[in-house]
C-alpha cells in the first residue's frame, strides 16, 4: 500500500461527561488535522485531557519495534492523568473516529475500526483506565496496532541537576543520526561541527528519559532544559522514521502512520526556535504520514502558525483548535484568527485587561487541597493558577532551577519538608542557584524567590489523622450539620479505621482518600485551631505573592 488512503489517522474525538467537558447532555467534538493539530487555551480547560485520551488508542508490540530510547510505542491514560476518586466516574467517556483502510486486518485478525468508543473503569479502587468497548467486528478491549507516543512535562526535568545519570548511546543508523544533527543545529541555530546523542535516565525522576546532546563545545550534563526538550522531541520523531524503515523491510508488514502527542511544545524554547521546530514537525509529519498533536500557550508560535499557513475548512492538513470558557462554558473554536486568540488570552470581552495569574507548584493534589483550604478560610483574594503536577520535593527543586520559566511561580512544599533531612536535600539541590532560597521571605530576600512550606510539620494525611485522634469527642466539629447528618462521631471514626493506622503512612493516605468528604470538614477546624502556624504561613505567602505580583502586573494584597 502506498497511497495516502492506506494510512491510519484520527479524524476527530468526541468527549462527554468527563472532567472539564461535563456539561449535561453535551458532546464535545474536537476535529484533528491530518498532519498537525495545535491545541491552545487557558490553563485547566482540558487540553492535557485531550492528549491523554488520544494517547490511549494505539500501541505496537515491542517485538515489532520500539522507540530509539527503548520505550514501547504506546500511551496509557492512567499514567498521564492522576485519578481523582471524588470526580472521576466509570461509564462512556469518549469516541475516537479514524480514517482507516478498508478490508485490512491487524495481526489478531481484527479489521481496523472507523470508530472506537471508550468506557472508563476503576480497577482495584485506585487505577482509572479508559478501555475500548467491544463490538461485533472487534470483540476485544485491546488497543489498535498503531504506533502512539506521548511526551509530557516531566521531560523538562534538567539532566544536569540529577545526582546519578545512566547514559546509553543512541542506537540509530548513520542516516538518522545525521538528520538529527541537522535538525538540532538548524532549530537552535547553533554553530557546531558535530553532535553525539545519548539517552539519559536520571535516578531521581521516574518518568524522565532524556536525550543528552554532546557537541564539540559542551557535554551531555551541560544540556539546558530547552536543549533536552528539543532532543526528546527529535528522538520521538525519528523513532517513527526508524519504525517506518524497519517495518517496510518485513514481509506482510507495512507502516501505517502513527500519532505523536506533545504537551506544551514551546516550553523552554526561544520563540525563533519554536517557529523552526514547528516547520520541522510539519515537514516530517507529511514525510512519515505522522499525526502530531501538541498544546501550546505561546502567542508568538500561534501568531506564526496563523500568519504562515492557510487555516480554513479546505485545509485539513493543519488544524488549530482553541478552547475557551469566556462565556462560562467550554467552547471549542476551530481555526480562530490570531486577534480572537489574543482577545481571549489577554483581554476580557469588555475590553479590560484580564488579571494575570501566578502559577502555583505543589507536590501533589493533597498539597493543593490544603493550600486552597487555607486561602479560602483566610479569605485571601489571590490570582492563582494551580498547576496539575505530581512531583516529589527533590524533583521540584531540580526542575525549578533548571529553567527560567519557573522564576515567577509560587513553589509550595508539603509540611514534612520541614524535617531536617528533607530540608537539607532541597538546599543541596538549589545551592548553585542564586535566585531560589528556602529561607523565610523577608526584605533580606526581596530579590530572591523564596520556596514556601505548608504548615503542620508532618505529612498532610498524618496531620488530619492525629488531629481527629487528639480532639475530644465533644469537639465543635462533630456538631457541624454535615457531620451530624452523616452520623460522624470520633468513636466511629477511630473504631472503623484500619488497624495500625497510627504508624502507617500508606494506611493514613488510603484512609484520607476514602474519607475525603469528612476531611473536607475537618480541615476547616484544624486551620482554626492552629492559628499561630497558619498566620506565619499566610505572612510568608503574602510576602512572596506580592513580590511576584509586582513583576507580572498584579495588584498586591494587604
User: What is the average pLDDT across 486-491?
Assistant: 91
Instruction: Examine the pLDDT at 201 and tell me if it is beyond 50.
Output: no
pLDDT for the residue numbered 150? 92
Residue of higher predicted confidence among 230 and 351: 230
Q: For residue 213, give Cα distances in angstroms to 118, 176, 284, 296.
A: 39, 15, 21, 24
Instruction: Examine the pLDDT at 89 and tell me if it is beyond 80.
Output: no
Mark whether 437 and 543 lie in a shared domain: yes
Instruction: Examine the pLDDT at 178 and tell me if it is beyond 90.
Output: no
In a domain, 366, yes or no: yes
- Sequence-ordered alpha helix ranges (H) in 8-130: 47-55, 77-80
pLDDT band per the 50, 70, 90 thresholds, residue 160: very low
Mark whether 283 and 214 lie in a shared domain: yes
Supply the pTM of this predicted model: 0.66
pLDDT for the residue numbered 121? 79
In a domain, 322, yes or no: yes
Three-state secondary-structure class, residue 413: strand
Residue of higher predicted confidence among 407 and 282: 282
Q: Please tell me the distance from the alpha carbon of residue 413 to that of residue 278, in angstroms, as a whole number.
A: 35
Instruction: Examine the pLDDT at 232 and tell me if it is beyond 80.
Output: yes
Q: Grid coordinates standing for 445?
A: 530576600
Range among 328-337, 363-372, 393-402, 444-453 rated most confident: 363-372
Mark whether 39 and 16 lie in a shared domain: yes
User: 206: Cβ–Cβ under 8 A, 6 or more apart, which residues?
Assistant: none
Our measurement of the distance from residue 123's CA atom to the centroid of its chain's CA atoms, rounded to an integer in Å, reads 22
Residue of higher predicted confidence among 466 and 102: 466
In a domain, 168, yes or no: no
Domain boundary at 326, 346, 366, which? 346
Interstrand relation of 165-169 and 195-202 (parallel, antiparallel or unpaired): antiparallel
Domain boundary at 316, 346, 376, which? 346
Mark whether 215 and 78 lie in a shared domain: yes
pLDDT for the residue numbered 84? 67
Mark whether 133 and 20 lie in a shared domain: yes
pLDDT for the residue numbered 163? 46
Q: Grid coordinates standing for 406?
A: 519557573
Domain boundary at 346, 381, 399, which? 346
Mark whether 149 and 17 lie in a shared domain: yes
Task: Give the chain's mean pLDDT.
Answer: 83
pLDDT band per the 50, 70, 90 thresholds, residue 165: very low
Structurally, the chain folds into a number of domains equal to 2
Full DSSP string of 290-316: EEEEEE---HHHHHHHHHHS--STT--
Three-state secondary-structure class, residue 282: helix
Instruction: Examine the pLDDT at 472 and tell me if it is beyond 90.
Output: yes
Question: Is-contact 550 556, C-beta < 8 A?
Answer: yes
Q: Please tell me the distance from the alpha carbon of residue 471 to that of residue 476, in angstroms, as a whole number.
A: 10
| Nearest Cα residue to 214 out of 192, 236, 238 | 192
The tens digit of pLDDT for each residue in 507-524 reads 999 999 889 999 999 999
Instruction: Examine the pLDDT at 478 and tell me if it is beyond 70.
Output: yes
Burial class (CB in 10 A: 0-12, 13-18, 19+), 432: exposed
In a domain, 558, yes or no: no
pLDDT for the residue numbered 221? 39
Mark whether 336 and 364 lie in a shared domain: no
pLDDT band per the 50, 70, 90 thresholds, residue 169: low
Q: For residue 134, give Cα distances in angstroms to 99, 101, 396, 497.
A: 19, 20, 41, 40
Mark whether 342 and 362 lie in a shared domain: no
Long-range contacts of residues 350-355, Cβ cutoff 8 Å, at least 24 apart: 355/383, 355/554, 355/555
SS (H, E, C) 181-243: HHHHHHHHCCCCCCEEEEEEEECCCCCCCEEEEEECCCCHHHCCHHHHHHHHHHHHHHHHHHH
The owner of cell 471549542 is: 332
Our measurement of the distance from residue 230's CA atom to the centroid of its chain's CA atoms, rounded to an integer in Å, reads 17
**What percentage of the chain exceeds 70 in pLDDT?**
82
Mark whether 364 and 339 lie in a shared domain: no
Residue of higher predicted confidence among 379 and 178: 379
CA atoms within 13 A on the CB side of 347: 10
The tens digit of pLDDT for each residue in 128-145 reads 677 888 888 888 888 888
Q: What is the CATH number of the domain that holds 44?
A: 3.40.50
pLDDT for the residue numbered 541? 95
Residue of higher predicted confidence among 445 and 462: 462
- What residues make up the domain containing 243? 9-156+206-346
| Nearest Cα residue to 292 out of 259, 243, 334 | 259
User: What is the average pLDDT across 232-246?
Assistant: 91
Instruction: Examine the pLDDT at 149 and tell me if it is beyond 60.
Output: yes
In a domain, 14, yes or no: yes
In a domain, 1, yes or no: no
**What percentage of the chain exceeds 90 in pLDDT?**
39
pLDDT band per the 50, 70, 90 thresholds, residue 191: low
| Nearest Cα residue to 285 out of 5, 13, 33 | 33
Question: Is-contact 15 28, C-beta < 8 A?
Answer: yes
In a domain, 22, yes or no: yes
In a domain, 494, yes or no: yes
pLDDT band per the 50, 70, 90 thresholds, residue 156: low
Mark whether 341 and 487 lie in a shared domain: no
Mark whether 121 and 262 lie in a shared domain: yes
Mark whether 232 and 109 lie in a shared domain: yes
SS (H, E, C) 328-384: CCCEEEECCCHHHHHHHHHECCCCCECCCCEEEEECCHHHHHHHHHHHHHCCCCCCE
Amino acid at each position: 500500500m502506498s497511497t495516502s488512503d492506506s494510512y491510519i489517522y484520527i479524524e476527530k474525538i468526541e468527549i462527554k461527561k468527563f472532567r472539564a467537558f461535563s456539561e449535561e447532555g453535551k458532546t464535545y467534538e474536537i476535529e484533528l488535522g491530518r498532519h498537525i493539530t495545535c491545541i491552545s487555551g487557558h490553563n485547566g480547560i482540558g487540553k492535557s485531557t485531550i492528549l491523554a485520551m488520544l494517547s490511549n488508542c494505539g500501541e505496537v508490540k515491542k517485538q515489532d519495534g520500539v522507540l530509539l530510547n527503548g520505550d514501547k510505542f504506546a500511551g496509557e491514560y492512567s499514567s498521564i492523568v492522576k485519578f481523582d476518586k471524588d470526580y472521576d466516574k466509570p461509564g462512556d467517556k469518549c469516541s475516537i473516529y479514524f480514517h482507516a483502510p478498508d478490508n485490512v486486518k491487524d495481526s489478531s485478525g481484527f479489521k481496523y475500526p472507523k470508530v472506537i468508543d471508550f468506557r472508563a473503569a476503576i480497577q482495584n479502587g485506585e487505577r482509572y483506565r479508559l478501555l475500548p468497548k467491544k463490538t461485533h467486528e472487534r470483540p476485544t478491549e485491546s488497543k489498535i496496532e498503531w504506533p502512539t507516543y506521548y511526551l509530557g512535562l516531566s521531560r523538562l526535568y534538567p539532566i544536569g541537576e540529577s545526582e546519578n545519570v545512566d547514559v546509553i548511546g543512541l542506537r540509530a543508523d548513520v542516516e538518522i543520526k545525521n538528520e538529527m544533527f541537522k535538525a538540532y543545529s538548524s532549530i537552535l541555530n547553533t554553530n557546531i561541527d558535530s553532535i553525539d546523542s545519548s539517552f539519559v535516565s536520571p535516578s531521581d525522576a521516574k518518568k524522565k528519559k532524556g536525550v543528552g546532546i554532546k557537541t564539540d563545545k559542551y557535554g551531555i550534563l551541560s544540556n539546558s532544559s530547552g536543549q533536552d526538550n528539543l532532543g526528546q522531541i527529535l528522538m520521538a520523531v525519528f523513532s517513527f522514521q526508524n519504525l517506518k524503515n524497519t517495518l517496510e523491510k518485513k514481509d506482510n508488514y507495512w507502516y501505517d502512520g502513527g500519532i505523536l502527542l506533545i504537551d506544551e511544545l514551546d516550553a523552554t524554547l526561544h520563540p525563533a526556535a519554536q517557529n523552526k521546530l514547528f516547520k520541522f514537525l510539519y515537514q516530517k509529519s507529511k514525510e512519515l504520514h505522522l499525526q502530531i498533536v501538541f498544546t501550546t500557550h505561546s502567542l508568538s508560535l500561534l501568531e506564526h502558525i496563523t500568519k504562515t499557513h492557510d487555516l480554513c475548512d479546505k485545509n485539513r492538513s493543519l488544524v488549530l483548535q482553541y478552547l475557551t470558557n469566556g462565556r462560562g462554558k467550554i467552547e471549542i473554536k476551530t481555526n480562530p484568527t490570531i486577534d480572537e486568540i489574543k482577545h481571549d488570552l489577554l483581554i476580557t470581552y469588555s475590553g479590560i485587561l484580564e488579571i494575570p495569574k501566578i502559577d502555583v507548584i505543589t507536590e501533589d493534589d493533597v498539597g493543593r487541597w490544603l493550600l486552597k483550604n487555607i486561602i479560602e478560610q483566610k479569605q485571601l483574594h489571590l490570582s492563582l493558577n494551580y498547576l496539575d503536577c505530581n512531583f516529589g520535593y527533590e524533583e521540584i527543586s531540580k526542575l525549578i532551577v533548571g529553567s527560567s520559566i519557573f522564576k515567577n511561580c509560587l513553589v509550595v512544599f508539603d509540611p514534612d519538608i520541614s524535617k531536617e533531612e528533607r530540608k537539607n536535600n532541597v538546599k543541596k539541590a538549589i545551592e548553585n542557584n542564586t535566585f531560589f532560597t528556602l529561607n523565610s521571605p523577608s526584605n533580606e530576600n526581596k530579590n530572591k524567590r523564596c520556596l514556601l512550606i505548608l504548615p503542620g510539620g508532618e505529612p498532610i494525611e498524618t496531620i488530619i489523622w492525629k488531629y481527629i485522634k487528639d480532639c475530644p469527642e465533644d469537639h465543635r466539629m462533630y456538631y457541624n450539620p454535615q457531620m451530624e447528618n452523616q452520623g460522624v462521631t470520633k468513636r466511629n471514626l477511630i473504631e472503623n479505621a484500619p488497624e495500625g493506622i497510627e504508624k502507617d503512612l500508606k494506611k493514613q493516605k488510603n484512609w484520607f482518600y476514602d474519607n475525603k468528604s469528612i476531611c473536607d470538614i475537618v480541615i476547616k477546624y484544624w486551620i482554626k485551631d492552629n492559628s499561630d502556624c497558619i498566620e506565619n504561613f499566610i505572612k510568608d505567602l503574602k510576602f512572596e505573592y506580592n513580590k511576584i505580583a509586582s513583576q507580572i502586573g498584579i495588584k498586591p494584597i494587604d
